[in-house]
Amino acid sequence: MNDIKQSITHTIDGLDKELREISLKVHDDPELGNKEFHAYNLLTKYLAGKGFDMTYEASGLKTAFMAKYSNSSSGRRVGFVCEYDALPGIGHACGHNIITVQGLACTLAFKELMDKGLVQGTVVLFGTPAEETTNGKINFVKEGIVQDNVDYAMMLHPFAVDGLYGRMLALDALDVEFFGKASHAGMAPWNGVNAVDALMQGFDNIGLLRQQTIPTDRLHGIITNGGNSPNVIPAYSSARFYARSITRNQLKALKPRVENCFKAAALATGCNYKLNWAPLGPVEDVFMNDAMTADFKHYMEKEGIKYRTRTEEEQTSTGSTDMGNFSYVVPTIHPAYGIHTDAANHTKEFAAAARLPRAHQDTIRAAKCLAFTAAKVMTSDTFYQQVVDDFKKGKPQ
């Protein structure tokens, strides 16, 4: 492994300047999900120039890609992941510009290992759009692209602190619509059927439901249409809700209870309704592979990183990510790494921190450690079997 680790370090250090340039180009031109055309063109052109076999518009998404490089049809296959969509109004406030860096760094380090004959196998980089909205990784899993092309998958995510076992929740999105009857609000309100009343009743029902849900469940929503004029009884209203749970099975149990909140509101107000969950299915919770996580932790601790205990970390519920969908079809890790900021993700302050040289340095360091673990999986039969065994045990639900 020493020659392999030296090669990884040398390759990533040698790419530092151009990876930094890519990071800044992505950061300074933030694009919303499924519209990341600048980032998509930048990354695919770069990878094609490095000699990768490119699949454009992967999984049917205009800004998705798969880059593959192989020196053996019989070796193991590692998958790294890029994200590059931004958030409305606050840009790269989840650090997807440096998530792009970690994916490129690891992938290019493995290409060099293969060119030197230090490992035998395949490296794949998945370019996955719209993590913040329509969750492009779900498409990759639904189409079988992940499980058909890699044996294990890895991605790093920047946060304010380093972490391994913080809970990433399963999530599904619900679009709610109510249909009533318009009438003059001052002249003949009794002739109307108020769709906004139904929506407000639904919000109230959700609020009451929260006291009966487990502490790790999350229910939150916004009004997307609340009528057009206070002088008209609204004939239409709509909202979008997120339901989250600590596991996909618990989310499955929560969803009918959420639906009943809106069905009851429709009944009480005389409205008709439509309820539509996300068409591609839910975002799943992240199933961290224990063997790979422990190995990555070992390398990060050698770099001076200190972690809380697993028990302490598991008391923390964070957000959700479609990397969870990868984690149920192939062994996966999705570690968090700190970028020297006190700011929370999805804030302007975090977006600013993700552009700083220190965040880039933190990303490069963590990417080297991730690549070390990926190389161990690829080269050690014993360790790979541990990874597979952990995956087959499944995640407690």
User: What confidence score (pLDDT) does residue 146 get?
Assistant: 99
* CA angle in degrees (0–180, nearest 5) for 367-337-92: 90
First to last CA, the chain: 36
Could you say which residues of the chain have pLDDT below 50?
Answer: none
Calculate what percentage of the chain has a pLDDT beyond 90: 96
> Do 163 and 211 meet the contact criterion of CB atoms below 8 Å apart?
no
Q: What is the pTM of this model?
A: 0.94
Q: Is 249 exposed, middle or buried (0-12, 13-18, 19+ CB in 10 A)?
A: middle
Quick one: tokens of 224? 């997307």
User: What confidence score (pLDDT) does residue 316 get?
Assistant: 81
Per residue in 226-277, pLDDT (tens digit) is: 999 999 999 999 999 999 999 999 999 999 999 999 999 999 999 999 999 9
User: What confidence score (pLDDT) does residue 1 get?
Assistant: 81
Q: What structural domains does the chain harbor?
A: 2-167+286-393 (3.40.630.10), 170-277 (3.30.70.360)
Element (H, E) at 308: none
Cα 354 from Cα 158, distance rounded (Å): 8
Report how far apart, in Å, the C-alpha atoms of 248 and of each of 15, 184, 228, 323 are: 39, 46, 38, 13
> Do 152 and 331 meet the contact criterion of CB atoms below 8 Å apart?
yes
> Do 157 and 334 meet the contact criterion of CB atoms below 8 Å apart?
yes
User: What confidence score (pLDDT) does residue 213 get?
Assistant: 96
| Backbone angles phi and psi of 93, in degrees to 5 | -85, 5
> Do 70 and 119 meet the contact criterion of CB atoms below 8 Å apart?
no
